[in-house]
Structure 1
Amino acid sequence: MITTSIFGAFPKTNRLSILKLNFSKAAAGALADVCNLNVVSSPFPPIIDAVHYKPVPEFVSAEWVNPKIAKKVAIRDGSTGETRTFLDYNTHMHNIASALRFEYLLKPSDTVALFSPNNVDYLPVSLAVAMCGSKLTPLNPLYTAQEVLTILDRSSSKILFTHAKLLSVALEAAMKSKSVDHIVVMPDVEQNHDIPFGTVNFENLAQYNHFPNLDTSVEEVHDHVKDVNSHPWLLPYSSGTTGLPKGVCLSHGNMISNLLQLDEVEGMVFPMDHKLISPLPFFHIYGFLASLLYCGWRGQELITMSGRFCLENFCKLVEDNRPERAHLVPPIILGLAKHPVVDTYDLSSMKMILSAAAPLGKDTEAAVRKRLNTEVKQAWGMSELSPLGTVNSDYNAKSGSIGQLVSSSYGKIVDTDTGISLGPNQTGELVIKGPQVMMGYLNEPDKTAECISKDGWLRTGDLAYFDEDGYFYITDRIKELIKVRGFPVAPAELEELLLTNEYVQDVAVIQVPDEAAGELPRAYIVRKENADPKEVTEQYLKEWVKERVAPPKRLDGGVVFIDQIPKSASGKILRRLLREEAKKEFE
């Protein structure tokens, strides 16, 4: 639905004032308040304000002891064969929360980091932290020790949960950390690992049953002290529209709102007896909320993979377990469309594939639909939206579209220079308002003000348009974030790393297109005068970076040596000019 204005048009004096302020960096978010014409509203039923709900742990686990689902498999790890029932979920959540609260004195102001591949106890650990009123920051299991250290210190994490397979990296980071007091080691069922002296065995927390027990979330989270909209829980790190990764503060209310918004679209078509397969990493908020948290709340079996993704293993899991739905990203969907191994398995149980985290081309969408006789639809979101912003329903999905706004949300397309909101089929920046919009960036009020306006509009950094039916289409990104197989890579982070190389004078990093990965990082390098071009080659720098970063951050888009990095008069890197040159090259 498109309205001329849902909040009333701004007086001309206000509009002029905001336009003038827009030229200052601190007022960048105010651009979204300039004009409220052509506002699009959600076609889905509104949700009840999350302030009326209990904290996330009680909300999600309300039915876990119900005899109808208590002994049902909640999660199945297709890589290891491990399972947990909903009763296991409930028991482990309460035991871990009690141990954290009473043995390790975890306070509501503290943060816990979770550094693990997908794991059958990922949700109980996450909810246990929430019961203590503390913040949880999930970490990419592919991170190097330096990358882990950066997030530990920025989030001031007091406790680090890590999987035994990642222990050496975790220990190296924790030893240098200024904040970590305890390391909890989660077991590797495929191989026995010794738990080093000074670390905590996860099993001791999962089996903790001493008095007192933490039966409900601490009072700081409950609405008689503070409502669930004002208490933070999840703290994923995102680069937002620009710059280095920032802690995205998501409240209990944000996450409950997004669960309810997702359920308005999925609830009727995804009954409790259906299964979902999702190899998506749980540290990524798409996999965390849409797959892990949603299935936990709805009492549905989730099939996941803790090991490295393998298309053949995925197909075998579908054939053996017969899930009706799948949560995937475009590179996997591309494999389903083209790889010959797909024809050797029975994937007929899959009735719907949801694609998100990166754009999916119409041709690939059509190819998978035809080959597998399954439906494909797209959704869109970002960490700052908890993460869901738009989605297609099963009944009226439009190919190539990211769908319509989720319940109780409003969106508009604004001119990036004037802030004037545009009508249908006109491209500008997508801005969104709704109960799922983050609280803000951790300890960074200026960065928060740059992307959230006083009226609550979130600037997404995505260029888009909507059609006459209120369906949105992403065309490009204003923001500089690079999406590699759906994983966010911040150019500024790679530039900061490369500048520590003794032969690099200056650098700029942009994204270049890639059919399999979506995008890849490419570095434009100015060598120092003392650098020998025969030694400081593309291969040398690619290998140098590879040793220091997770795989998505590798310079697989190449290294280009140039004489000067294009910059504005104020010294800001003009990545736009480099992207335009790269676009010509790929065309």
Structure 2
Amino acid sequence: MSTPSQSVVGARLAELGHTTVFDVMEQACRDYGDKPAFSCGPDTISFNALRGRADAFARYLRHHAGLQPGDRLAIQLPNLLQYTIAIFGALRAGLVIVNTNPQYTPYEARHQFADSGAKAVVVLDKLVPLVRKIQGETQLERLIVTSLDDMHNPVHDTDQADEVRFMQALRLGEQLPAVTPERGLDDLALLQYTGGTTGVSKGAMLTHRNILSNVLQAVSIIKPGDVEYGNEVRVSPLPLYHIFAFTANCIASVFTGFHSILITNPRDLDGMIADLKRHKFTLLTGINSLFVSLMAHPEFDTIDFSRLKWVNSGGAPLNTEIAKRWQARTGSVIREGFGLTETSPVVVASTAFTPYKEGFIGKAVPDTEMKIVDDEGRELPAGEAGELLIRGPQVMEGYWQRPEETEAVFSADGWLKTGDVGVIDEEGFLKLVDRKKDMILVSGFNVYPNDVEDAVMRHPGIRECVAVGVLDERTGEAIKIYVSLHDTSLDEAAIIAHCREHLTGYKVPKHVEIRDDLPKSTVGKLLRRVLRDEARAQAGA
């Protein structure tokens, strides 16, 4: 078992006196005031200005929109300054945030909106038709609409009775009475949806205590003198609706007073390169696929990396060779982390306090316990592979309105079963070996085979389908589907086109193999593991 090296999180939280995540913003305003908090494109907002606008948005939500503490507010935005205002405003109002991927298709968004019971959504203007298409199957009563350039070219008017423009909501809120959060450490702050092995997305219930504890765990692994609170510039290309970026690049960055440069579209490499040249950045958060793409860009070596202290990698496994290439070309080290949506998310990190050990991710963050168990739940000795279990203050309360699945994911004595197969060595370093679950990790996003298969099988010409993950140099893993057909005229292009109609981009299969029949057990169950092992063998894994 790997146990916490020190018990610091609870004591530090008590010392700070924070009772909600919004208190991080209050503290930041006292410490950093008019220093820049976030920039996006040509726009920058200070900590004081962010707090003021978030407060105005909270007043609007409570007094004008009529939302009450505990109500759910969906946010379906890319990285924008409006996102930061919306989340801190929602937390100030005592609401529960439902982070929603703006790339979701109606098929994917419908379940999340309906399952969470969200009463309102902050949404990008171009996504309004998507929301309208599914609104009748949800509890959404109000759309708060913004555009990419709202901060410097604001729109205030709309002709829809149940719509309000985001900038108008702020204007209205400024005239309304103050609000108090009416929430505490053990109240919900966030419903963060993750995939399920049945293809049904589940909302991980993360409390204010969970998020605040993970922020303190994340910042406690920074060695004194390595960074200067209030004077670092961090480039943040990972989407804030992803739990790693939400906690690390948003909440923790406010806690430390970092100036975060939000990248709205990291696929626009030319634009991101321009941002890297524009700002004197000292920190960067990324993912394996992003590092590969950046290093392949013809202008990569013209970027000034002289101030870059280190890079954080999270959301997907880091390829050791890629990390070595990055360090050789930039002079900066990539520090890897591991976590889960269910753990807010950080569990393990490579830090300045721990030596680098090739093949291992790092050690558990403070106040976090890990152990490896066999199939019967018996703890295994150091060096033996088994399922990784986790216990700590960052572990979720459970899955929203799913008591049976919550019970299944926790052991009788309260350990979270990760479904990951790992090894903990004698020094407490963690290595991940495999996944017990069938989940596929594409550029840091969880993709569950049944989620893909359900969408594929909506095509009447497809008889059977199995989705598996195969190694991919750029995205870590890619999705391959094996299909058998009713309609033999279907080809790979037609199947992928069908997938694009029903799945967000990272869930669309990269490879399609059509077969007469798919392997089955004696009782007729499709043998996914057989096909997965075959696909990996073909890829030379």
Q: What TM-score, normalized to structure 1?
A: 0.86
Q: Using the alignment, how far apart are the partners of 2:28 and 2:516 within structure 1?
A: 59
Instruction: State which drifts further: 204-213 or 184-193.
Output: 184-193
Corresponding residue to 1:333 among 272, 286, 291? 291
Which residue of the partner structure matches residue 527 of structure 1? Answer: 485
Task: Give the corresponding residue for 2:454.
Answer: 496
CA distance 1:143–1:205, shift in 2 (3 Å): same
Query: 1:472 pairs with 415, 423, 430, which one?
Result: 430
Q: CA deviation at 1:480?
A: 1.6
Cα distance in 2 for partners of 1:300, 1:141 equals 26
1:99 aligns with 2:66: no
Relative to structure 1, the CA distance from residue 527 to residue 319 in structure 2 (aligned partners, 3 Å threshold; closer, same or farther) is: same
Q: Aligned-pair distance for 1:44?
A: 5.0
Counterpart position of 1:42: 4
Q: Which residue of 2 aligns with 1:553?
A: 507
Look up the match of 2:379.
Answer: 421
CA contact (8 A) 1:248 1:442 kept: yes
Q: Deviations over 1:372-429 (max 9, x none)?
A: 11111110001000000100112433343221001111001112x2222222221111
SS at match of 2:227: coil
Determine helix, strand or coil for the equivalent of 2:427: coil
Instruction: Provide the rounded CA distance (Å) in 2 between the counterparts of 1:264 and 1:568.
Output: 53
How far off is 1:64 after superposition? Answer: 4.0
The question of 1:537 aligning with 2:501 is answered: no
Q: CA deviation at 1:579?
A: 0.9
Q: Which residue of 2 aligns with 1:19?
A: none
| Deviations 1:312-366 (CA, angstroms, capped at 9, x unpaired) | 4333323321211111100112234444431122222212011111111211111
Secondary structure, counterpart of 1:422 in structure 2: coil
Shift of 1:288: 0.6
Alpha-carbon distance between aligned partners in 2 of 1:465 and 1:360, rounded to the nearest angstrom: 17
- Determine helix, strand or coil for the equivalent of 1:121: helix
Query: Equivalents in 2 of 1:367, 1:542: separation in Å?
Result: 33
1:30 corresponds in structure 2 to none
Please list the CA deviations of residues 469-524 of structure 1 after superposition, one character each: whole Å capped at 9, or x if unmatched. Answer: 11111121112221111122221111112222111222221111111111111222
Shift in alpha-carbon separation, 1:573–1:94, aligned structure 2, 3 A: farther
Please say which of residues 156-165 and 431-440 is displaced more in the overlay.
Answer: 156-165
Number of the residue aligned with 1:36 = none
Alpha carbons of structure 1 residues 336 and 148: separation in structure 2 relative to 1, 3 Å: same
In 1, distance between residues paired with 2:27 and 2:195? 36
User: Match for 2:394: what amino acid?
Assistant: Q
Choose from 433, 456, 459 the match for 2:391.
433
Partner of 2:141: 181
The more displaced of 481-490 and 441-450 is 481-490
Alignment of 1:161 with 2:119, yes or no, is no
- Give the deviation of 1:243 after TM superposition: 3.8
Separation of aligned partners in 1, 2:526 and 2:18: 46
| Cα gap change, 1:280 to 1:448, in 2 (>3 Å) | same
Q: Which moved more, 1:287-296 or 1:315-324?
A: 315-324
Aligned twin of 1:576 = 529
Give yes or no for contact 1:408–1:434 (8 Å, CA) kept in 2.
Answer: yes
Q: Which moved more, 1:453-462 or 1:46-55?
A: 46-55
Secondary structure of the residue that 2:432 maps to in structure 1?
Answer: strand
1:566·1:577 contact (CA, 8 Å) conserved in 2?
no
Number of positions where the alignment pairs a residue of Structure 1 with one of Structure 2? 530
Q: Does 1:82 align with 2:43?
A: yes
Give me the whole-angstrom Cα distance separating, in 1, the residues matched to 2:207 and 2:416. 16
What amino acid is aligned across from residue 392 of structure 1 in structure 2? S
User: Structure 2: 5+ residue runs without aligned partners?
Assistant: none
Q: CA deviation at 1:83?
A: 1.4
The answer for unaligned runs of 5 or more in structure 1 is: 1-38, 223-227
Match of 2:113 in 1: 152
The aligned residue for residue 54 of structure 1 is 18
User: Is the contact made by 1:50 and 1:256 (CA closer than 8 Å) also made in structure 2?
Assistant: no
Once residues 257 and 473 of structure 1 are traced to their aligned partners in structure 2, the CA distance between those partners, rounded to angstroms, is: 24
Matched residue, 1:111: 72
Distance in 2 between residues matched to 1:574 and 1:458, nearest whole Å: 27
Does the 8 Å contact 1:274/1:323 carry over to 2? Answer: yes
- 1:284 matched to which residue of 2? 242
- AA aligned opposite 1:177: E
Q: Deviations over 1:16-55 (max 9, x none)?
A: xxxxxxxxxxxxxxxxxxxxxxx11133553126874433
State the 1:556 CA deviation: 0.9
Distance 1:439 1:49, change over 3 A: farther
Q: Aligned partners of 1:378 and 1:181: how far apart in 2?
A: 41
CA distance in 2, matches of 1:196, 1:476: 53
Moved more, 250-259 or 120-129: 120-129
The answer on 1:404 being equivalent to 2:363 is yes
Instruction: Name the structure 2 match of 1:63.
Output: 27
- Residue by residue over 1:545-581, the C-alpha shift from the partner in whole angstroms, topping out at 9 and shown as x without a partner, is 1122211011113233341353574x65432121111
Secondary structure of the equivalent of 2:471?
Answer: strand
What TM-score do you get using the length of structure 2 for normalisation?
A: 0.93
Query: Does structure 1 conserve the Cα–Cα contact (< 8 Å) formed by 2:478 and 2:510?
Result: yes
Aligned CA distance change for structure 1 residues 107 and 47 (closer, same or farther; 3 Å): same
| AA at the equivalent of 2:252 | Y
Q: What is the RMSD computed on CA atoms of the aligned residues?
A: 2.1
How far the C-alpha of 1:152 sits from its partner, in A, is 0.7
